Amino acid sequence: MTRITIPELEAKKAVGEPIVMVTAYDFPGARAAERAGVDMVLVGDSGAQVVLGHDSTVSVTTDEMLVLAKAVRRGTEHAFIVCDVPFGSTEVSDAQAVETAIRFAKEAGADSVKLEGGSEARLSRIRAIVAAGIPVVGHIGLTPQTAVALGGLRAQGRTTASAERLVAEALGVQAAGAFCLVIEAVPAEITELLRSALRIPIIGIGAGRVDGQVLVLHDLLGITEGRTAKFVKRFGTVGDDMTAALSAYAAEVRAGEFPGTEHQYAASDEAVEAARA
Ligand code: KIV
Ligand code: NA
């Protein structure tokens, strides 16, 4: 099976076929996404929280993200791979951003990198990475890496100033050369306006029905504990299934029921005799 290409993703938008994207952080997650026929896999820095247990995405490093990205790469053959560049790995300069993007492409085999934000500095980073030959996905609206500056993890585009800013950022990201744009936590009416203004596919998360959707794997599987964002739908109860299987295992070990004879090796009588001696 060949890997999905950018023209194929653009063709989906052109014919109105929704693009399916999901995050993955390891080999089994990537395999499951692949078996499900997902179009794009995002090695999201949400992995900082959902698989590494950090409070936010800010603390994850490029080296850590690369470990996750390599495992995802090994687990996919068809899905287009997008890797988040973590906070701090592109902020300093265009040169730093290009070096980081090259690491993801070269060491992890990423098909593209995703950068948050649409300020002038961010557009400059996008231009530099695209000029280096690495496709870029933009990400505007709620941008978790700079959530503190946004005043918390809250929906964007709900006020006039915020909606105007989103329009400028969306157009800027497209003009800078991004081939795709993720929009997070923005009212559907606003996203629809952005969609009609843009040529590139828009992938939404909490942004209504746009050209495609993305969700965090552990959220949709039902592994994430506690309260999740309004836009999360749980499509499974995998977290409960994991706990149930582990509880059953613990109970059988404690009851002396596991391992049963079918899970034990047999030795020849001679071997047993020799070991006894
Ligand atoms: O890191 C992530 O999971 C993301 C998606 C929410 C778009 O950036
Ligand atoms: Na992210």
**259 and 190, same structural domain?**
no
DSSP state letters, 66-105: HHHHHHHHHH-SSSEEEEEPPTTSSSS-HHHHHHHHHHHH
Q: For residue 105, is it within any domain?
A: yes
Kindly give the distance from the C-alpha atom of residue 112 to the centroid of ligand 1, in angstroms, as a whole number. Answer: 14
How big is the chain, counted in residues? Answer: 277
Does position 1 have pLDDT exceeding 80, yes or no? no
Provide the number of structural domains found in the chain: 2
Instruction: Give the global pTM.
Output: 0.96
**Residue 184 is a catalytic residue:** yes
263 and 201 within one domain: no
Tell me the average pLDDT of the chain: 96
Looking at the structure, tell me whether residues 246 and 137 fall in a common domain: no
Q: What CATH number should be reported for the domain holding residue 94?
A: 3.20.20.60
**Are residues 175 and 210 both part of a single domain?**
yes
- Note whether 12 and 194 are within 8 A (CB): no
Domain shared by 38 and 126, yes or no: yes
- Residue-range definition of the domain harbouring residue 247: 242-276
Q: Is residue 122 part of a domain?
A: yes
Percent of the chain with pLDDT over 70: 100
Residues 203 and 264 in one domain: no
Q: Is residue 167 part of a domain?
A: yes
ipTM over 0.90: yes
Say if 1 falls within a structural domain.
no
Which bin fits 78, alpha (ψ -120 to 50), beta or left (φ > 0)?
alpha
Task: Name all residues whose Cβ lies below 6 A of ligand 1.
Answer: 23, 42, 44-46, 84, 182, 184, 205, 214, 216
